[in-house]
Every structure is written in C-alpha cells, then in structure tokens.
Amino acid sequence: MAGMSDTTGTTGTTGHTPLDLPEGDPFGPHNLPYGVFSYADQAPRVGVRIGDHVLDAGGAAAALGSPYVSLLARPTLNSLMAAGPTAWSDVRRALTAWVTVPAHRDTVLPHLHPLSSVTLHLPFEVADYVDFYASENHASNLGRLFRPDEEPLKPNWKHLPVGYHGRSGTVVVSGTDVVRPSGQRKGPGDPSPVFGPSVRLDIETEVGYVVGAPSPQGSSVPLSSYRDHVFGLCLLNDWSARDIQAWETVPLGPHLGKSFATSISAWITPLEALDAARVAPPERTVPLLPYLDDASPDVDPAGYDLRITVSLNGHVISEPPFSGMYWTGAQMLAHMTVNGACLRTGDLYGSGTISGTEDDERGSLIEITWNGRDPLELPDGKRGFLEDGDVVTLSAWAPGPDGLRVGLGEVTGRIVPTTH
C-alpha cells in the first residue's frame, strides 16, 4: 500500500474540526493516535481518537471512497503497521483531512462515537515482547539498593542496552484487571523457599515501542532505520513481583516475576505526532561501538520529551521524565537485531523503568519506598508495595506543534486477589 494517493484532499493541523474541540485539546488533529474499539454488538475495528470521540477509520474511509479501506477496515492495526512508513504518512495525511476539512464534515460525523460508549481492545496482535533497562537513574538506584558495597552499574551497562525477552501472550490492554501472581519466594533469613501470592507486587513505569515493518532474519536494523520500522509509542506498565523475581534471577534473568502481565495503553501514538518532542539523549560517558554510536549528525537522536505522571488510587506519586533516558529506542532496536534476529509486525519492546534524578521522579515502588523501608503515606493508608484493590494509572503528554500538547493514552490496571 506504500505510495497510495488519496483523493479526499489534505489540510494542515490547524484547520477547522467538525468536533469543535476545546482549544489546546491534547487529542486534537495534531495527534490522532490509533486504537481498536467496538460498540453495541459490532465487531472490533480500527479507530482514531479525536478529542473525547473515536473515529471509525474504516467506515470513514469507505464513505469517502478512500483507497485506504484495505488498511483501516480491520479488527487490528497489524495490516496498517505492516504497510510501512510511506503508507503511515499517507494515511495520517488523509485522516487529518477527514477531521479538519469542512467539506468532509457530514460524511465523517456518522462515524464518530463518544469514547464513553465504546469498548477499547488490545490495538494490535503482539508478536514478540522484549523489555529493556534503559534508565541510568533506575539502574543506579537498584544497584545502590541491592549492591551497596559495589559500583551501582554493572560493567556492561553503558556498553549495551540490557534487556530480556518477555512473554507476549500476557500483554493486556489498559483497564484489564491484574491478578496477583503466585510463585516461589525466599527472604534473606528464610531457611527454604515457600510458595504463595507475591507480597512485593510493583509497577514499572515505561514507554513501549510498537514495531510495524518487519525485517528479514539474518539481517540487522541500523540506527538510521529506526523510523522505517517503529510505528509508534505507547505507555506501558510492566508489573513486577519483586519477591518472586529476586529468588528466580539467580543466576538467570526475569521469568515468572514478570511474565504474568504487562499492560499497555489502548492508543498507539504515531512517531510523526511526536516530532516536536524529539530530543537528544544525555551525553555519553563511555565510547560506544559503531552500531550503537548515535553521535553522527545523520542519525536520528530518537529521544523524546515525554512528561509522565504515575497515580496510585488517584493520588500522584511520581512524575518520571522520559527525556533523560540513557539508551534510545533506536539503540534498543539496533541492539535487539544486531545478532540477526528478525523483526515481526507487532513486536513490542519496552524502555524499562523510567526514573529521574529526584525522589519524586522514580518510576517504581521499589525505588520510591526503597524496597519497602520508607512506605508511601497516602490518604488511604501506607504503601510499601501494591495491595489488592489498588489502581495504578500512568498518563503522559509531550510538547507538540505550535505550543500544543500531544496526549498519550493512559494505561491503568487494578490489582485483584490471586486465584491460585
């Protein structure tokens, strides 16, 4: 579908919108994130968020005689994601026109649905899931916490983006309840491990990168090809059972402590919507091997200024800044494929926990409470780690064009008691 032209016309992002959105709405025509929704007894379909409505993208495309029906009249985003960056740009221009050109108003309005009236679904079929560890502040905090007599960072940390391969089948959409996981755990003073529900259930405030265009096995994706493969970003919460994780990660990596659930937003924000939020990463303090070296002026810096808020039961507990992440999405993608591993449409990789330099910028409870030593004081009681019934919400915005804000779809989850 790459290179198709649309006959419905185009306009800039400052044109009239048929919805008459409030000035500065973070989900205005400058944003247009993609999702999948259903209403009444209808099947799931691709939607585009505009204000507090969702546009049935396939229905609008058919009504307007658009050639993009084959990409948009689908139950998931995978067909559009697989079409590649030229198609992504072409479809985005067409969508912008459909919601801003007054001549399209009467045709588009019947395909708009209030968000309050629809059900949101996992927006794409997840292929593989990889989670990284890209925040120097987070990695340093955990190093100080668990290895107080050593250097906070392991010797490899500034040479490569550390990560692990997760479980794609337990990636769930925002709003899905998270069942407290059970497993083996062993405290430092316990004579032997015990089995039972996790007592140190945590959050990980992350950004997810959604891969669209695949790559062949045996090849690698250079830094310069990041935007050829990554379709968009979303907020991600990689729930973590710290007690299960601590016992099982000797000597291998995370397994049952992570694989029970990973929540993502129902909305995927296209990279083009975040162009005004692009920033350079922090200064590198260790020379990088050529495949990771992003100092060249012709390499996309691939950093983003995302302002994230973490709320627990409606109370703000942290505001981690994404702009300070040491490793970028382009570097993570390059490292993930440098051994010849292929990309598939629907691959998802997470940034790892985002933490800043200040106490109120830490992206996990293990850091915020220093492994439970300093519990959070909330109006509904103290928290070292999550309790049953707790609701965690991640929300974010980024600087957009002309002083506007670009909203990222929130991701929320409620902890429910174990069933096993």
Name the catalytic one among 30, 53, 138, 335.
138
Are the beta carbons of 24 and 405 closer than 8 angstroms? yes
Identify the three-state secondary structure at position 46. strand
**CA 281 centroid distance within chain:** 18
Q: Which residues pair with 241 in a beta bridge?
A: 201
Find the angle CA(90)-CA(95)-CA(99) to the nearest 5 degrees.
Answer: 150
Q: Which two tokens stand for residue 287?
A: 């020379």
* Residue at 240: amino acid letter: S
Alpha carbons 231 and 271: distance in angstroms, whole number: 7
Are the beta carbons of 392 and 413 closer than 8 angstroms? yes
Are the beta carbons of 108 and 47 closer than 8 angstroms? no
Alpha carbons 323 and 329: distance in angstroms, whole number: 12
CA distances from 8 to 16, 46, 155, 331, 400 (A): 16, 19, 56, 38, 25
Q: Which residues fall within 8 angstroms of residue 86, CB to CB, at 6 or more apart?
A: 2, 3
Tell me whether residue 138 is one of the annotated catalytic residues: yes
Burial of residue 184, with CB atoms counted within 10 A of its CB: 0-12 exposed, 13-18 middle, 19 or more buried: middle
* Residue at 222: amino acid letter: P
What is the torsional sign of CA 114, 116, 120, 123?
Answer: positive
Are the beta carbons of 335 and 349 closer than 8 angstroms? no
Helix (H) or strand (E) run with residue 340 in it: none
CA distances from 357 to 66, 135, 320 (A): 49, 10, 9
Alpha carbons 89 and 54: distance in angstroms, whole number: 20
Which of the residues are catalytic? 138
